A = this chain, B = another copy of it.
Amino acid sequence: MLEVLRLGHRAGRDDRISTHVGLTARQWGADKVTYAGEYDSSMMESLENVIGRWGGSMGVEYEEEWYRHLKAFDGLKIHLTMYGESVGKKLPEIEEELDEDIMVVVGAEKVPRKVYTEVDYNIGVGHQPHSEIAALAVFLDRLRGLKNNFSGAEVEVEPSEQSKLTREK
C-alpha cells in the first residue's frame, strides 16, 4: 500500500498545487492520498471527479490529526525535502528496506521539525528550492515507474502523434 501524505494544505492558496499532488500520486500508483492542513472539500471533490471518470481506486482522505496519523503508520515513511539526503545515494537502501506499506510525505512551505525525526528517511530530490510535485513525481518514477492500468475508467486516451484522441469505454 502506497500512501501519499500532503501536509499543510491552505484552502485557496494551495488548491491547484494540492490537486496536482493528488494527480501525481494517482499517476504513479498511490493507493491513497491524505490531505492535512485546512479541510478543502472542493479541492478533494475535483480530484474525486477525475478518479470517477478516469478510473482507478485511489482513496482521497482528509486527516485533521495528521501527526498522529503519521506516527501510527506501520511501514516505511519517507519525507521528501530539499534538505534531505540525496535520492540517488539513498534509493538502493530504500529499495532494500521496502515494506509492503510505504508513506511518502510532502509538505507545503514550512514542515514542522518533528516530521524530520518521525520518518525513516528525509530524501532530497535535488537540494535546490523545488516543487513538491516534481519531487513526488520523480521519486515515485525512480522507485516504481508509472502506473498503467486504471480500472473502471469511463474514458481513456488513445495515444497519438499529433491529435487529442479519447475513447469512451
Contact = CB atoms under 8 A, between A and B. Distances in A.
A146 B162 contact: no
A118 to B, nearest CB: 10
A82 interface: yes
Contacts of A83: 157, 159-160, 163-166
Taken together, the copies of this chain in the complex come to 2
A23 interface: yes
A161 B166 CA distance: 45
Give the one of A20, A128, A163, A165 with max B CB within 10 A.
A128
Give the one of A24, A131, A161 with max B CB within 10 A.
A131
Interface string A144-169: 00110010000011011111111000
Nearest to A87: B146
A37 interface: no
A162 B122 contact: yes
Interface in A1-52: 13-14, 16-17, 20-21, 23-24, 26-27, 50
A134 B20 contact: yes
Give the one of A50, A133, A147 with max B CB within 10 A.
A133
A86 interface: yes
Contacts of A26: 128
Give the one of A21, A83, A88, A117 with max B CB within 10 A.
A83
Interface of A: 13-14, 16-17, 20-21, 23-24, 26-27, 50, 54, 81-86, 88, 116-117, 122, 124-131, 133-138, 141-142, 146-147, 150, 156-157, 159-166
